[in-house]
C-alpha cells in the first residue's frame, strides 16, 4: 500500500512537490491506513500520521503517562461511545523521529475484518482522513526522511522475490546510492559556487585563478567516476528485473525437459516428437538467489517447411538476441554419433543452427552463453570425462543427473552478470537513474570540451555544470538553486 503510486512521485523533484503539496496530498491533515497485509491475519498494524495523531491515543486509550517508542497493551475504545473495539498494542512515535517525520501512532490489533472495520470507523469519527496510496512514503519524502533512491529501494525491497534482490534493495533503501550521488552533487555544487564566485568576484575579492583550475580538475575526476559507474553492464537493473535467460537448441534435444526441471514443475509439454514446442514459453524461477525470466523456445530446424514451426524459430531468435544469458542444449547421443572432438562438434552444431553471429565473438563462445549436454546417461565414463575436461556441464533430465553441478555453474555465471550487492560498490538499479546520470555525464563532458577551446566564454560553459547538477539532483529528488548561494557564502564569505 505504501508504494502503489511511487512512479508519479519519482518523476518530480521534492521542491516541485512541496510547492504543490496541498493539492497532491493532504498536508496538514492527519491520515490513517492499514499498513500490514490485507485479509484475515493474526496481527494487523494500523498507522496514523499527522499533527493530531496523538489524539487517537488520548481519545481511544487510557494511557496515563505516554512514553515514545514504548509498547502499551491497552483496550482500544471508540472515542465517542467508549465501547471497546479490541485489546492491542499502542505505540507513540513523536516527530521528527518517525517514518514520516510527523507525529505517528500505531495500533497493533487482531486482524479480523470486523475489528479493522470498527477501528477505521472510529478513526474517521476523529476527523482523520484515509491515507492515499503511498501517502506515508510521500510525507517521509517531503520531510527529508527519504530521498527518491531510498524510496525506490524501499519499493524494490517490498517486491523482492530472491535473496540477491533483497540484498540490493536493502542497501539502496538504507541510502547506499543516496550517499554516493549526494557526494557527487556536493562536488558539483562546490565547483559551481567557486566558478561563479570567480566570475563575479574574482577581481575585487582577489580570488586566485588556481581556484578555477582546481575546480576543472575535480570536474574531470568526477566525469571519470560517473563514466565508470555507468559502465557496469547494467547489472543492478538486470538483478532487479530478472535475468532474461533463453534455452536454445535443435529439436528434441531436451530444452522443455530442462525448463521443467529448473522451474520444478511440468510447465512445458514434453514428447518424443521433434518440434513439440512451437511458441516461446516464459516462466520465472529463482536459482542461487538470482531471479530468472526463463524462456523455452522452438527447436532451431533449418530444413522445416512448417509455417508454424518457422514462426516459432523466428521468435526464438528474436528472444535470444535480447537475452542476458543463453543456455545452449546439446544432445549427448547426437554428439557420440559423430566421433568428433567436442569442440569441433560444438562449432559445427552452432553453425547448423545458424547461431554464429549470436554466440561466437572473436572466434570464441560468448561469456553469457553456457553449453549444457543433455542425455549423459547414454554416455560412458570416458566420454563424460571428456566433457569435464572441456569444462562442460552434463545432465540427464530423464534420470535427474548432474543438476547440482548445473546449478552451481549457473550461479557462477549469474554472479558474473549481476555481481554481488555491496555497500562499497553501489549499482544503478533503475532506468530512471541511468538516464539522469547519462544526462549529467554528458553535461560534464560538454563543459570539459568547451573549456579546451580558445576564447571560450566561462559564463556559458558554467551553465553545463548547472545542468549537470540539476540532472543529478533529480535522481534523489532534491533540486534547489538556493543551495548554490549557501555554498558561496560558506566558502567565500562574500558580503561579509
Of the candidates 458, 430, 400, the residue with the CA atom closest to the CA atom of residue 262? 400
Which residue is it, cell 543452427? 353
High-pLDDT (> 90) share of the chain, %? 49
Res 409: pLDDT: 94
* pLDDT tens figures, 445-480: 999 999 888 888 888 888 999 999 999 998 888 764
Helix and strand counts by DSSP (H, E) for the chain: 21, 14
- Say if residue 344's pLDDT is above 80: yes
Radius of gyration of the chain (CA): 30
Residue 324 and residue 243 in contact, taking contact as beta carbons nearer than 8 Å: yes
Q: Which residue intervals of 26-73 are DSSP H helices?
A: 54-60
User: Strand 84-93 vs strand 104-111: parallel, antiparallel, or unpaired?
Assistant: antiparallel
Res 300: pLDDT: 84
Q: How far apart are CA 282 and CA 323, in angstroms?
A: 12
User: Strand 72-77 vs strand 84-93: parallel, antiparallel, or unpaired?
Assistant: antiparallel
Cell of 129: 482522513
**pLDDT-based confidence at residue 196 (cuts at 50, 70, 90):** confident
What lies within 8 Å, CB to CB, of 416 at 6+ separation is 367
Which residue(s) pair with 285 in the sheet?
292
Alpha-carbon distances of 476 from 302, 428, 439, rounded to whole Å: 51, 13, 14
Q: How far apart are CA 494 and CA 481, in angstroms?
A: 17
Which comes out higher in pLDDT, residue 342 or 85? 85
**pLDDT-based confidence at residue 26 (cuts at 50, 70, 90):** low
* pLDDT tens figures, 265-320: 876 555 555 555 556 788 999 999 999 999 988 878 777 777 877 788 888 888 89
What lies within 8 Å, CB to CB, of 482 at 6+ separation is none
Percent helix, strand and coil across the chain, each rounded to 5? 50, 15, 35
**pLDDT-based confidence at residue 496 (cuts at 50, 70, 90):** very low
* pLDDT tens figures, 36-87: 877 788 899 999 999 999 999 999 998 989 999 999 999 999 999 999 999 9
- Say if residue 255's pLDDT is above 90: no
Q: How far apart are CA 189 and CA 495, in angstroms?
A: 19
- Say if residue 341's pLDDT is above 90: no
Rounded average pLDDT over 195-220: 75
Say which range, 123-132, 301-310, 427-436, 460-469, has the weakest mean pLDDT.
301-310
What one-character DSSP code corresponds to residue 373?
E
Rounded average pLDDT over 473-489: 60
Res 488: pLDDT: 35
* pLDDT tens figures, 370-423: 999 999 988 888 888 878 887 889 999 888 899 999 999 999 999 999 988 898
Which comes out higher in pLDDT, residue 462 or 101? 101
Amino acid at each position: 500500500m505504501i508504494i502503489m503510486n511511487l512512479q508519479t512521485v519519482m518523476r518530480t523533484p521534492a521542491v516541485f512537490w512541496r510547492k504543490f503539496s496541498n493539492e497532491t496530498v493532504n498536508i496538514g491533515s492527519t491520515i490513517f491506513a492499514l499498513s500490514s497485509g490485507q485479509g484475515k491475519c493474526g496481527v494487523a498494524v494500523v498507522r496514523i500520521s499527522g499533527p493530531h495523531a496523538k489524539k487517537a491515543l488520548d481519545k481511544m486509550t487510557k494511557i496515563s503517562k505516554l512514553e515514545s517508542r514504548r509498547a502499551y497493551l491497552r483496550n482500544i475504545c471508540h472515542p465517542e461511545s467508549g465501547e471497546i473495539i479490541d485489546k492491542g498494542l499502542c505505540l507513540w512515535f513523536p516527530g521528527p523521529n518517525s517514518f514520516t517525520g510527523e507525529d505517528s501512532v500505531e495500533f497493533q490489533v487482531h486482524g479480523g475484518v470486523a475489528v479493522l472495520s470498527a477501528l477505521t470507523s472510529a478513526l474517521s469519527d476523529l476527523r482523520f482522513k484515509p491515507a492515499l496510496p503511498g501517502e506515508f512514503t510521500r510525507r517521509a519524502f517531503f520531510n527529508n526522511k527519504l530521498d527518491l533512491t531510498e524510496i525506490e529501494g524501499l519499493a524494490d525491497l517490498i517486491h523482492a522475490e530472491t535473496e540477491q534482490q533483497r540484498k540490493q534493495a536493502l542497501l539502496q533503501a538504507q541510502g547506499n546510492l543516496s550517499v554516493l550521488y549526494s557526494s557527487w552533487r556536493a562536488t558539483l555544487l562546490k565547483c559551481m559556487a567557486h566558478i561563479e564566485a570567480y566570475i563575479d568576484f574574482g577581481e575585487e575579492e582577489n580570488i586566485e585563478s588556481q581556484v578555477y583550475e582546481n575546480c576543472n580538475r575535480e570536474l574531470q575526476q568526477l566525469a571519470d567516476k560517473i563514466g565508470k559507474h555507468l559502465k557496469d553492464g547494467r547489472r543492478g537493473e538486470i538483478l532487479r528485473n530478472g535475468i532474461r535467460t533463453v534455452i536454445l537448441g535443435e529439436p528434441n534435444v531436451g530444452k522443455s525437459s530442462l525448463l521443467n526441471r529448473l522451474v520444478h514443475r511440468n510447465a512445458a509439454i514434453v514428447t518424443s516428437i521433434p518440434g513439440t514446442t512451437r511458441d516461446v514459453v516464459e516462466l520465472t524461477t529463482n536459482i542461487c538467489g538470482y531471479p530468472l525470466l526463463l524462456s523455452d523456445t522452438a527447436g532451431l530446424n533449418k530444413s522445416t517447411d512448417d509455417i508454424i514451426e518457422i514462426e516459432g524459430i523466428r521468435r526464438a531468435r528474436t528472444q535470444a538476441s535480447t537475452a542476458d544469458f543463453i543456455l545452449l542444449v546439446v544432445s549427448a547421443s547426437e554428439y557420440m554419433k559423430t566421433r568428433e572432438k567436442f569442440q569441433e562438434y560444438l562449432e559445427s552444431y552452432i553453425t547448423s543452427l545458424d547461431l554464429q553471429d549470436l554466440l561466437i565473438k572473436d572466434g570464441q563462445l560468448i561469456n553469457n552463453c553456457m553449453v549444457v549436454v543433455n542425455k549423459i546417461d547414454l554416455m560412458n565414463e570416458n566420454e563424460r570425462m571428456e566433457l569435464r575436461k572441456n569444462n562442460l556441464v552434463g545432465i540427464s533430465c530423464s534420470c535427474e543427473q548432474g543438476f547440482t553441478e548445473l546449478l552451481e555453474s549457473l550461479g557462477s555465471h549469474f554472479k558474473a552478470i549481476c555481481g554481488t550487492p555491496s555497500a562499497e560498490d553501489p549499482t544503478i538499479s533503475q532506468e530512471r537513474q541511468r538516464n539522469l546520470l547519462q544526462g549529467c555525464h554528458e553535461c560534464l563532458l560538454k563543459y570539459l570540451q568547451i573549456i579546451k577551446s580558445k576564447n571560450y566564454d566561462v559564463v556559458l560553459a558554467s551553465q553545463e555544470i548547472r545542468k549537470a547538477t540539476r540532472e543529478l539532483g533529480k535522481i534523489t529528488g532534491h533540486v534547489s538553486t538556493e543551495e548554490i548561494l549557501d555554498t558561496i557564502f560558506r566558502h567565500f564569505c562574500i558580503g561579509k
